[in-house]
Amino acid sequence: MAILTLPSFAKINWTLDILGRRSDGYHELRTIYQTVGLADTVSMELTTLPGIDVACDGAGVEGGPSNLAYRAAEAFFEETGLAHQTGVRIWIRKTIPAGGGLGGGSSNAATTLIGLEHLAGLRLPDSTRFAIARRLGADVPLFLVGGTVLGVGRGDEVYGLADAPVTSLVIANPGVHIPTADVFRRFDSQLTAPDPVARLHSFVSALRFRDSQLSVGNDLEAAVMRDYPEVGEARASLLGAGAVRAWMTGSGASVVGIFEEAGAAVSAAEHLGEHGLWARAVETIDQSAYLAALGI
């Protein structure tokens, strides 16, 4: 059968504001996501025999039932009733650092859902797609939208926004693993929480007026950097390499720097790499380019 290969893009969080703890134990978030030009590759092929097989070349990333792409395929087959008629082989080539706050696993899951629709020659209703995505994880739904995306609730209720201006970025990852649950516990232990949603309003206003001076930041950053100095050092390295602004994305450990032009971003990433820090120069990907790349 034919093999379909699709890019599986990373995301950053321009803003991440924590409003407090919800009754279900999760935290109420207001965040603005952005898809960027750093991508894994997901290849898949339908098989005549039922079953799901996922292989992944990323260190520390399992290919079995704990993998989000596996779970996405499982959910797709259950929803479509194809589970007893066909199966799928999935190969994931990792470029996005695992556990870095860049949504790599969530993106792989969304790309798998989209790819299986292509291979099966059908399209799930949007409501079903998003319901599956939300069950898989809070970051998965944004990858069904792409571009600049508002996330509310746990971050899983998403709304497409006007695209942010094309921006040259460097993403740096210090190589430390930071469990998300621990990050939120550290945040809850802070005596003074940041002022909620101020950045979000400022950011959306900047989009409205096409302002390149976007207000960025992350309420979780201080709690993480207090106990993981490597993250703060990576941020300082970005600023030292010429970033206009730099901040942590998601729950870490990756940090993002804004550069005034693409050449400066490339030079900075090369410089940081020569000094032992994983770093990549990327640009933002708007919604139309994102959807086109996935054939949606």
Q: State how far the alpha carbon of 182 is from the alpha carbons of 27, 66, 177, 189, 223, in Å.
A: 13, 20, 11, 11, 10
Catalytically active residues are 11, 139
Which residues does 35 contact at the CB level (< 8 Å), separation at least 6?
9, 10, 11, 142, 143, 146, 147, 149, 284, 285, 290
**Contact call for residues 8 and 40 (beta carbons, < 8 A):** yes
Give the closest residue to 277 by CA, choosing from 97, 36, 101.
97
**Contact call for residues 286 and 163 (beta carbons, < 8 A):** yes
Residue 31's region, left for phi above 0, alpha for psi from -120 to 50, else beta, is: beta
Alpha carbon distance 132, 7 (integer Å): 20
Which helix (H) or strand (E) covers residue 197, if one does?
none
**Contact call for residues 235 and 248 (beta carbons, < 8 A):** yes
With tokens 């300082």, the residue in question is: 236
Give the closest residue to 225 by CA, choosing from 255, 245, 195.
255
Alpha helices in 68-193 (DSSP H): 68-80, 104-120, 126-136, 180-188
Which helix (H) or strand (E) covers residue 206, if one does?
helix 198-208
DSSP string, 98-125: TTSSS-HHHHHHHHHHHHHHHHHT----
